[in-house]
Amino acid sequence: MTNTNDLQSLLKRIEKATARLEDLAAKRSETTKPDEPSKASTDGSVDVEDSKAALEYERAIKPLVEHFVSCSAKIGGLVSDQAQFVQQLYTAQHDFVRLAGTCKQPSPSQLPTLLGAQQSAIQSACALKDANRPSEYFDNLSAVAEGVAAFGWVAVAPTPVPFVNDMKESAEFYTNRVLRKWRESDPNQVEWVKALLSIFRELAVYVKQFHTTGLVWNPKGGDAEAAAKTLGNADSAPVSTPPAPQLPSATQDEPKASSAGGSTRGALFADLNRGGGVTTGLRKVDTTQMTHKNPSLRAAGTVSGDSTTAPAAPAAPAAPKAKAPRMELQKDKWVVENYDSENLSIEATATWQTVYMYNCTNTTLIISGKLNSVAIDNCQKCGIVFDSLVSQCEIVNSKRVQVQARETVPSILVDRTDGAHLFLSEAARDATQITTAKASEVNVSFPFETANPEDDDTVEQPVPEQLQTVVKNGKLVTTVLEHTG
């Protein structure tokens, strides 16, 4: 009985202590009011306090951007200039994430104004790339121009993380070119590639943690436009960046020729281009008019001949007219042909659609979505990037072509092609069958995993070209010829 009384007394004491703690907690919540919306100042502006998401964005992304800018400065030139736009883009997006943590979601009409600084930085990075195509660092510029689109995740819902990863893979198409070109000669380029890709990799991790289905706004916050003005007054003026250099015009470096001299040279080259037809206007010389057979003619210094004028030479045939570029969907077949130095994109809407790329030069084609097959015919120096194929990718009669599979492709056929570089994703690495026929200089690149993700590298290996065939038991046995020693 004593134990029972003690237990009841203990329970009563615990209940009293709990009641007192609840009273204290209620009084404290009334005085602090943490859920109160952002306070407006007397001039109508809104005080912006960094949310947890904004602080984490700065902690995770800022050091990587600063490291990338430092690596770009080691290379210098256009690469360093473009890195300044990436720095501006980070600053603008950091301010935008701070707004989202303390403000209500703006209306669709307000959003373009708030995103203006980010859009300007992205457009400047792309314009610098487009204005410097002849540069030896064009692949670096293209990698950044493709990758910075990942910062557009703030306007993507409900799948911002896949969007960031897609832009990262687009950048990898060009960073692989950078590694292939500079890996052995310039270690700064290798460090630059790792720094660039680390930004997109960490950005995807951050978005997945804090903004899984889209940028999160504060439903109890203040007005975004007023807060943006507050940030604009508080922050320092943006650092001015040099304008993108312009390509010199063809008339700046070439001396101007006179109209008479130009027409004379034009006529001369037109006659030379006729080949054997250039002699059709000449008349046959009789033996009586040949000075080496008539000494008297050499003494006189003149040769008699007909006064008739030789017939005018026929006009040179006109050069074949270049066919107009075309990209259109014919039923279930995308036709892309006759493009030169262009960046194109296609979004597949059905898995039974196909893509046929023909007679293109220096052209990059990016295909989004899953489709049936891709065929590349009679193309030179072209790059093709696709997500996933149901059937196969076929490369025929082409030179120096690059193909990248972001996800899976069952089969790749390379036929009568000189120079083909195939980039396989981790998913396609062990599931893709590659067939070659009358092809040379075919290389395959695929990811190589290590224990540390930051040390992961891309391995490039050639497809064997030399085969050895012997007769065994009445059958031909062919093996790859390996050189040793």
For residues 179-199, give the mean pLDDT: 92
**What's the pLDDT band for 2 if we cut at 50, 70, 90?**
low
Whether omega before 255 lies within 30 degrees of 0, making that bond cis, reads no
Q: Taking 90 as the threshold, does the pLDDT of residue 188 lie above it? A: yes
- Which pLDDT score is estimated for 36? 41
Q: Which residue has the tokens 């990587």?
A: 64
Report the alpha-carbon distance of residue 371 to residue 388 in Å, rounded: 7
Residue bearing the bigger pLDDT, 268 or 186: 186
| CA–CA distances in Å: residue 79 to residues 93, 189, 463 | 21, 11, 33
Residue bearing the bigger pLDDT, 260 or 103: 103
- Segment of 18-22, 250-254, 264-268, 460-464 carrying the highest mean pLDDT: 460-464
- Which pLDDT score is estimated for 108? 85
Q: Taking 60 as the threshold, does the pLDDT of residue 47 lie above it? A: no
Report the alpha-carbon distance of residue 281 to residue 312 in Å, rounded: 7
Report the chain's mean pLDDT, rounded to a whole number: 80
Phi, psi for 219 (deg, rounded to 5): -65, -20
Q: List the beta bridge partners of residue 14.
A: none
Report the alpha-carbon distance of residue 417 to residue 439 in Å, rounded: 5
**What's the pLDDT band for 455 if we cut at 50, 70, 90?**
low
pLDDT tens column, 139-158: 999 999 999 999 999 988 88
Report the alpha-carbon distance of residue 69 to residue 65 in Å, rounded: 6
- Which pLDDT score is estimated for 6? 67
Beta-strand relationship, 354-358 and 373-377? parallel
Report the alpha-carbon distance of residue 305 to residue 286 in Å, rounded: 9
- Which pLDDT score is estimated for 450? 67
- Segment of 231-235, 313-317, 437-441 carrying the highest mean pLDDT: 437-441
- Segment of 148-162, 243-257, 266-280 carrying the highest mean pLDDT: 148-162
Phi, psi for 319 (deg, rounded to 5): -65, 145
- Which pLDDT score is estimated for 238? 39
**What's the pLDDT band for 345 if we cut at 50, 70, 90?**
very high
- Which pLDDT score is estimated for 259? 41
For residues 215-235, give the mean pLDDT: 75
Q: Report the alpha-carbon angle 344-345-347, nearest 5.
A: 160
Q: Taking 50 as the threshold, does the pLDDT of residue 438 lie above it? A: yes
Among 312, 70, 310, which Cα is nearest to 192's? 70
- Which pLDDT score is estimated for 244? 38
- Which pLDDT score is estimated for 70? 95
pLDDT tens column, 196-217: 999 999 999 999 999 999 999 9
Q: Which amino acid appears at position 473 of this protein?
A: N
Report the alpha-carbon distance of residue 194 to residue 475 in Å, rounded: 51
For residues 82-91, give the mean pLDDT: 94
For residues 345-366, give the mean pLDDT: 92
- Specify the length of the chain in residues: 485
Q: Which residue has the tokens 């604009």?
A: 232
